[in-house]
Amino acid sequence: MIKLVVISGKGGTGKTTFTGALSHLIAKENNICHPIMVDADVDASNLELLLQPSLVNKFDFVGGEKAIIDPNECTNCGKCMEMCRFDAISQENSSYMVDPYACEGCGACELVCPTGAAKLHEQVVGEWYHSDCQFGTLIHAALFPGQSNSGKLIARIRNYADELAEQNHSNFILIDGPPGIGCPVMSAITGTTLAIIITEPSVSGIHDMQRALETATFFNVKTLVCINKYDLNLEYTKKIEAYCSRNEIMVAGRIPFDLTVVSAMAAGKTIIDFLPESAPSQSIIQIWDTIKQNSN
């Protein structure tokens, strides 16, 4: 099975737009059985805007614990508030309350409470979804505002995608990864067979591409680089290609800047679906051919 992840060292490089276009091309391949797409950018999931899925099932995500103080058990001793280093506990009308947004779930209040009034409780911090779309199956998720554990949520939907692929005899999983190089990216890239890094010709684009390459190398994942909007700054495009050449990283291709992409996004379609003859579409088709040659 091929597990392809699309990442970028920074946001706004066109990663999701590229992933959506790949979804279209993958679905047209005769040798690929029922591809599964995973939107692993759970903090800002938007691949569904291009794939327009229909919901099959929805699941709660329990991502951690928060303290709750039972007023019937509380003796108002104040030890919990004294112990809380996150200032998550306050006194209101002679009762002690926990701010769920400030609570880190460390359990210190539960430890010092003499009556057991303060206890940690599991919290539903997000949702994840199984949906069908025109190109196959989409597994996506949404972490609630202000919540953490995005890496754990990504691991959950990736495991589900693996289970689904085995059940459906699917031989291709495409993952739209989160930006950056933190825990969510590590969760998205672990165990994949190939990573595509989408970069752009700018100072930050080069810097963050290098960080993404280091992350992929650490996890021993084969990597290709794609330069999006390459013609906006040819000087930096050449610098990216020179860096990749020195480090024996293949540049899978270049995608030109084209306002047709914006029109496709506004229409809620992939660029391949919107205008296959456009320059960006033709570039992505060529990049897909390169990906296929380097997927094994």
Q: Which two tokens stand for residue 208?
A: 């963050």
**Has residue 19 got a pLDDT over 80?**
yes
pTM of the model: 0.90
Q: What radius of gyration, in Å, describes the C-alpha atoms of the chain?
A: 23
- pLDDT for position 64: 82
What is the pLDDT confidence band of residue 145, given thresholds at 50, 70 and 90? confident
Task: Provide the residue ranges of all domains of the chain, joining segments of one domain with +.
Answer: 2-52+134-293, 63-124
- DSSP letters for 175-228: EEEEESSSHHHHHHHTT-SEEEEEE-SSHHHHHHHHHHHHHHHHTT-EEEEEEE
Q: Which CATH architecture describes the domain 2-52+134-293?
A: 3-Layer(aba) Sandwich (3.40)
What is the pLDDT confidence band of residue 226, given thresholds at 50, 70 and 90? very high
Stretch (H or E) spanning 60? strand 54-69
Measured distance CA(86)–CA(89) in Å, rounded: 8
In the chain, pLDDT over 90 holds for what percent of residues?
84
- Cite the DSSP H helix spans in 40-192: 48-51, 79-83, 108-112, 150-168, 183-189
- pLDDT for position 107: 94
Measured distance CA(144)–CA(261) in Å, rounded: 29
Strands 54-69 and 250-255: what pairing? unpaired
The CATH number of the domain covering residues in 63-124:
3.30.70.20
